[in-house]
Amino acid sequence: MERSSSRRISRRQRLLGAAMGLGLSLSGPTAHAADNLVFVSGGFRRTIPVADLSTLANTGAAPGLLGDVLRFSQQNPKDVAGLLNQSISLPITLVSRLLNTRIGEAILERLSRIVYPLNAPGVGVPALRSAVVMGLANGNGSITAVSFLKAYPTRDIEVSIPALLGLMQKASSISELVRFFSESPLDGLRGNGETGASPKKAEP
C-alpha cells in the first residue's frame, strides 16, 4: 500500500511539474510589467520570477526554482530558451483589430482561462489584449514570450494548472501549442493583411 501511494504521489508531482514547465514556454519592464508567474492548482502554488525567465532566454541557463521545474519536468533549458526567444512578426494595427473581432475575442477568452491577473480572472481578456498589442509595439512589430510578459499590465500572472493540463491533452508538443495560439489563427494577417474578410465567390 505504501509503495502504491508513493507511486501515485510521484506521478501527480511529475504531472504538475510538466504543466509548470509547459506554461513557462507558452509565455525590461514597463510601468506595470509582470514580475511573477504564479502556478496554481487548489492549495498548490509556486512562483517563478519573470526575471528568471529572462535570464533563461538570454543565457540558456535556468536559475533557482525555474531550473528545478525544468529538471523535474524533464525539459531541456536550451529548448525552452529557444521557445522563449521565438519571435513572431505581425502588423500591429491589424492585430489590434483582430483582437476586437469575434475570432479575436474567442482566442483571448480561451487563453484567459489559463493565464490571467492573479486573483482577477475576470479581467484576463483585456489584460491579454493589452499585453499582445503593447508587446508588438515595444518590439516594432515582433513579439516573444518574454516581451509579452514584460508588456503584461499586472505584476503577478496566475497560471491555472488544471486548465493548462486540459490544454496539454489537445496537443502532443509545446511547439504545437505555440503554433495553435500564435500562428494558425493569424495566418490570414500574413497572407493578405486583412481579417474577417469573406472569400470571393467564383465568377459564374
What is the grid cell recorded at 64?
Answer: 533557482
Which grid coordinates belong to 171? Answer: 496537443
Higher pLDDT, 15 or 35: 35
Q: Residue 34: what pLDDT?
A: 84
pTM above 0.85, yes or no: no
More confident residue, 178 or 34: 34
Q: Is pLDDT above 80 for 114?
A: yes
The 3-class secondary structure across the chain, one letter per residue, is CHHHHHHHHHHHHHHHHHHHHHHHHCCCCCCCCCCEEEEEECCEEEEEEHHHHHHHHHHCCCCHHHHHHHHHCCCCHHHHHHHHCCCEECCHHHHHHHCCCHHHHHHHHHHHCCEEECCCHHHHHHHHHHHHHHHHHHCCCEECHHHHHHHCCCCEEEEEHHHHHHHHCCCCCHHHHHHHHHHHHHHHHHHHCCCCCCCCCCCC
Domain regions of the chain by residue span = 11-184
Give yes or no for residue 177 having a pLDDT over 70.
Answer: no
Q: Are 134 and 30 in contact (CB under 8 A)?
A: yes
| Residue bearing the bigger pLDDT, 117 or 9 | 117
Tell me the pLDDT band of 195, cut-offs 50, 70 and 90. very low
Report how far residue 189's alpha carbon sits from residue 9's, in angstroms, rounded to the nearest whole number. Answer: 46
- Confidence label for 173 from pLDDT (cuts 50, 70 and 90): low
| pLDDT tens digit sequence for 37-63 | 998 988 888 899 999 999 999 999 999
- pLDDT of 192 > 60? The answer is no
Q: Which of 16-20, 31-35, 59-63, 169-173 has the weakest average pLDDT? A: 16-20
List the end-to-end C-alpha distance of the chain, in Å, as a whole number: 74
Residue 179 confidence (pLDDT) = 60
Mean pLDDT of the chain: 75
Provide the pairing of β-strand 156-160 with 44-49: unpaired
Measured from the Cβ of residue 16, the count of other Cβ atoms closer than 10 Å reads 20
Instruction: Tell me the C-alpha distance between 105 and 2, whole Å.
Output: 48
